[in-house]
Amino acid sequence: MASINAGVSNIPEDLFLNCDPGPYVCELAPGRPGDNGAAQIVRDRISAIGLEGLRARAQAAENDLMSLGVTFTVYSDATAIDRILPFDCIPRIITAAEWRKLETGVQQRVAAINAFLHDIYHDQRILKDGIVPAELVLGNANYRPEMEGFPVRFGTYVHICGIDIIRDQHGDFRVLEDNARTPSGVSYVVENRHLMRRAFPDLLAGMNLMPVDDYGRRLREALTEIAPEGVEDPQVVLLSPGIFNSAYFEHVFLAREMGVPLVEGADLIVEDDRVFMKTTAGLRAVHSIYRRLGDDFLDPTVFRPESLLGVPGLIRAWRKGNVALANAVGTGVADDKAVYAYMPRIIKYYLDQDPILANVDTNICREAAGLAYTLDNLHELVTKPVGESGGYGITVGPRATADELAACRATISANPSNWISQPVIGLSVCPTLTDTGIRPRHLDLRPFAVTGRSTWVLPGGLSRVALKEGSLIVNSSQGGGSKDTWVLAEETRR
């Protein structure tokens, strides 16, 4: 064997020969304007490592994640299994120019979402002007009447926002979904980069990338900004449901990066409408809470009485202005999939701007025309329930069997207002290491925006990749993995 290959051993095999993206945009295509050759360099370096080397290093990297406990927990039948989010070692590259557009687009979107939330919890102009149907907002399960007339600092309701973005076959970025409640995944952005540094230093050598490790500092800064006025050196905490939560690792990560205590509901107590944490030296005041608990679980005296995760009296203390909550209560109405459809109009209404990032065209089944179009074209559309997340309940028309389509039709007809539909988008692809070599796989991007006084966007974001051939569903609960996301700095050296 060795002798046969000896003559060509210094010219590595091109591992990307069987990685034709077909009709889709490739996120690692060589020669993209502004990439200064970065994609080609990455391709060459990967080929030089070779398939065996890649596999060995990828395996070592995954072992590393398991050992470090960079895991999420999957519960089934009373057993708890720690899983890693599968990591693909081939990075995705975003050019500086692409990033400028994504960044400003995300900032614009967050500004519009905050303006919208402020409006619907105050004057409700947008409802009165008939831009968004009042029933859609006021009848929404995530609309919180408790929030009406309640001021939040800087008008910021959504302090942490994750916006799911895809790239279509024309190369345009489009927003697929807003996550304005408690978006997760940011820890993987940072951990993936650390992992790459450890396992693939040769791939990163000389690459001038925008850094990702500033997130904790920015988040803490925002949480400090929103603390009640007049508090010097406010105490910030992260409120987690605890070690059994599937995202506990991320809570740990964020608490550590911010350098603040990770507390559980039982660590906090409200006295005289002020929040304290229980320490070895007695009670200690808390001023700003990054909560990773859903609205329903925050305060058993206001929401679910049976929940033990929250803190009795917390909402009252918050309404008295004695503590800040991030995100604010009641933001779920803004990331509803039905409200999403109106987002371009919402942006126009409040900011008088055209959306920098377009939506995916959306048919609203609560409207007669949208329902009729959806039912007539079911086989060509992706249908989604409006209240779900995590990729549940989605039917991809062109991939569905006749039985599945019939079931889908019945479900939608029974409760049309719970559904939207969208054309199937040919999500962009990125070369990905698979059992059969390097192959194209579809992916999306979730940038994270942090907003206190102003909005900062973490360069890049979480690239989630559908590991199954042809699959368009990237969620970790549905077999998705992640990639390191490189944003090229303006001046990329070779």
Partner 1 sequence: MTQTTPLLSRYAESLFWMARYMERLENLARLIDVTQTYESPGLESEAWDSLVRIHADEEHLTQSQGMVDPDAVKRYYMLDRSNPNSIVSSIEAARMNARTLRPLISTEMWKHLNDFHRDLLRLTEQDLDGDKLSRLCSRLKETVQAHTGITEGTLFRDQGWHFYEMGRLIERADQTTRLLDIKFHRLTPKGSEEQRQEERTQWGAMLRAVAGYHAFRRIAPVEFAPKDVVGFMLADPCFPRSILLCLSQTEWHLTRLRTTYGLRGTRGPLEQIEDMRAALLDRSAEQIISISLHDFLDGMQRDLITLASEIGDAFFRDWRPTALANQSQSQVTAQP
Interface contacts to partner 1, rule CB under 8 A: 66-69, 243, 248-249, 252, 255-256, 261-264, 266-267, 277-282, 284, 308
Q: How far is CA 97 from CA 100, 122, 443, in A?
A: 5, 38, 20
In angstroms, how far is CA 489 from the centroid of its own chain?
22
Measured distance CA(211)–CA(192) in Å, rounded: 12
* Unique residue bearing structure tokens 């060589």: 30
Residue 308's CB is within 10 A of a number of other CB atoms, namely 12
CB of 253 to partner 1, least distance (A): 9
What the block records as the tokens of 404 is 């599945």
> Cα–Cα distance between 382 and 365 in angstroms, integer?
13
402-414 vs 368-376: helix crossing angle, rounded to 10: 170
From the CB of 75, what's the least distance to partner 1, in Å?
A: 15
Which helix (H) or strand (E) is 102 found in, with range? helix 96-120
Q: What is the number of other CB atoms lying within 10 angstroms of the CB of residue 102? A: 23
Cβ at position 195, least distance to partner 1 in Å: 13
| Distance of alpha carbon 49 from alpha carbon 203, whole angstroms | 9
Q: Which residues pair with 288 in a beta bridge?
A: 236, 324
Closest CB to partner 1 among 266 and 372?
Answer: 266
The sign of the dihedral angle between the CA atoms of 161, 72, 173, 342 is negative
- What is the nearest approach in angstroms of partner 1 to the Cβ of residue 330? 26
In sign, the C-alpha dihedral spanning 403, 405, 406, 408 is positive
Comparison of 242 and 479: residue with beta carbon closer to partner 1:
242
CA distance 168 to 330: 32
- Closer Cβ to partner 1, 161 or 270, answer by number: 270
CB of 429 to partner 1, least distance (A): 35
Q: How far is the CB of 97 from partner 1 (least distance, A)?
A: 37
Tell me whether residue 51 or residue 277 sits nearer to partner 1 (CB atom): 277
Least distance in Å: CB of 267 to partner 1? 5
**Whole-number Å distance between alpha carbons of 15 and 17:** 6
Decide: 126 and 334 in contact? Cβ < 8 Å: no
Shortest reach from residue 268's CB to partner 1, in Å: 10
Q: Toward partner 1, which CB reaches closer, 225 or 257? A: 257
How many residues can be counted in the chain? 494
Angle between helices 38-68 and 186-199 (to 10 degrees): 110
**Pick 64 or 168: Cβ nearer partner 1:** 64
Minimum distance between the CB of residue 486 and partner 1, rounded to whole angstroms?
25
Query: Shortest gap between Cβ of 258 and partner 1 (angstroms)?
Result: 10
Tokens of 150: 């309640």
> Phi/psi of residue 345, each to 5°?
-70, -35
Q: Which is nearer to partner 1, 128 or 198 (CB)?
A: 198
In the complex with partner 1, the residue whose CB is nearer, 121 or 253, is 253
Q: How far is the CB of 259 from partner 1 (least distance, A)?
A: 9
Q: Rounded to 5 degrees, what are φ and ψ at 463?
A: -90, 115
Nearest of 487, 484, 490 to residue 85 by alpha carbon: 484
DSSP letter for each residue of 352-404: ----SSEEPP-EETTSHHHHHHHHHTGGGEEEEETT--TTTT-EEGGGS-HHH
CB of residue 269 to partner 1, shortest distance in Å: 9
Residues forming a β-bridge with 237 = 289
Q: How far is the CB of 277 from partner 1 (least distance, A)?
A: 6
Residue whose CB is less far from partner 1, 195 or 338 = 195
Residue that is written with structure tokens 């054309």 in the block: 423
Pick the closer one to partner 1 by CB: 3 or 280: 280
* Cβ-contact 268, 277 below 8 angstroms: yes
Closer to partner 1 by CB, 279 or 377: give it.
279
Closer to partner 1 at the Cβ: 23 or 282? 282
Residue 74 three-state SS? strand
Closest to partner 1 by CB, 69 vs 398, is 69
